[in-house]
Each structure stands twice: as structure tokens, then as C-alpha cells.
Amino acid sequence: MPPDASFDVFTCLDGVRRHDAESARALVEHLFPLVIKIVRSYRSRRLAEEDLAQEIFLKMFTRLEQYHGRNGVPFEHWLSRIAVTTCLDGLRAEKRRPEYRWADLSDGEREWVEFWAAKESVPLPTDAIGAREAVGKLLALLSPEDRLVITLLDLEERTLAEIGTLTGWGISRIKVRAFRARQKLRKHALKMQKESKL
């Protein structure tokens, strides 16, 4: 469900500052699609997506005094930054990254991994769910920072300037990290594909 464009965030924020429960509920329901989209992009294996979304909303309420709406920063951008850093912290808290082996992949996922790893011409796989799962599994093998930059740049198609605002990183740093992260993705795809031939 797309967010309601006529929703008045600032009136709601005034209510929240007065600890009005109805305004707070309306704000959570309005912003849930934005938050859950970010959570699903970075979800930590350890935390369920609803728990992570709840943590983000609680941070939003407790830090609301820090948002002044000056410089024309939309509230949604401010909240997105909280959501991204909370998810990143969740990923960093995981001591070990998963190790997916060829045997762990479904047929649809295998087709996509073979497609990414191949140098020669290979028919384009058609399994959309396989693509979603395979993208998620390859991303899970990256470090939290690499995963963040690929998610923002490739999956969410955000501009370099937007990513800079969300992460506080410089443009060059984002470009270099994205380049290296894609190289790592390719290495992981090749490694998995080699396992299939053993």
C-alpha cells in the first residue's frame, strides 16, 4: 500500500510531542511501509523484521526532539537514516556471516548463480523468486557496509548524493566500496559455482 500523500506529518509530530497516542499510532501506520522496506533490504538473520521495525520506531519517538525540520530535511529522510543505521548495527552485531553452499540453494537460485558466474553466453533464468532469494543470499555473504552500499545503490536505486546523506560517506568512498563489493559478489558466485562441479 503506497503511503498517503495527503497525510500531514508535521501535525502528527506536534501530537506526538504532546504524547498523544492517537497521533503516534497514525504516524507509525503511515511510516510503516517506508521502514519495513528498509528492514527487508537489510534484515539481520538474528532479528525478526517486526522486532527491528519496532526498535526503529521506538528510536524515532525517543529521539524526536533531535528533529527540527530545519534546512528542509523531510521527516522521512531523517527516519530513513535511523532505520539504516539500526539495521547496520544489527548486521554488525552478528559475529559470523552465513556460509551458503551449493547444496543450500534451490534450483531457481542455482540458475541465477550460474548465470552470474558464467563468462560465456548463458540463457537468462526466468525464476523471479529464485532471483530474489539468490540476491539475498549473495548479499548476506558481504560485510554490513558492502551490503549497505549495494542495497542502496543497486536494489533501491538511490543516487550517490542520497547515499551520502544517509550514510555520511563521501561520493568517492561510495563508488570505491560499490566497485569492490560487486567484485566480492562475483567471487562468491564463482566459488559457489565451482562447488557444483566437485
DSSP code per residue over 106-149: -HHHHHHHHHHH-SS--PPP--HHHHHHHHHHHHHTS-HHHHHH
Based on CB atoms, which residue is closest to other proteins, 25 or 92? 25
Q: Cβ 95 to other proteins, closest distance in Å?
A: 26
Q: For 20, phi and psi rounded to 5 degrees? A: -85, 115
Indicate whether 62 belongs to the interface with other proteins (CB under 8 A): yes
Q: Which is nearer to other proteins, 34 or 96 (CB)?
A: 34
Span of 72-80, 94-102, 128-136, 141-149 interacting with other proteins by CB under 8 A:
128-136
Q: Coil, strand, or helix at residue 2?
A: coil
DSSP string, 80-112: HHHHHHHHHHHHHH-SS-----GGGS-HHHHHH
Per CB under 8 A, 75 contacts other proteins: no
Does 13 bind other proteins (CB under 8 A)? Our answer is no
CA–CA dist 14, 93 (Å, integer): 34
Q: What is the dihedral of CA 39, 177, 98, 197, to 10 degrees?
A: 130
Segment 134-163, which members bind other proteins (CB under 8 A)? 134-135, 154-155
Does 131 sit near other proteins (CB under 8 A)?
A: yes
Binding site for other proteins (CB under 8 A): 1, 19, 21, 24-26, 28-29, 32-33, 36-37, 40, 50, 53-54, 57-58, 61-62, 112, 115-116, 119, 124-129, 131-132, 134-135, 154-155, 182, 185-186, 189
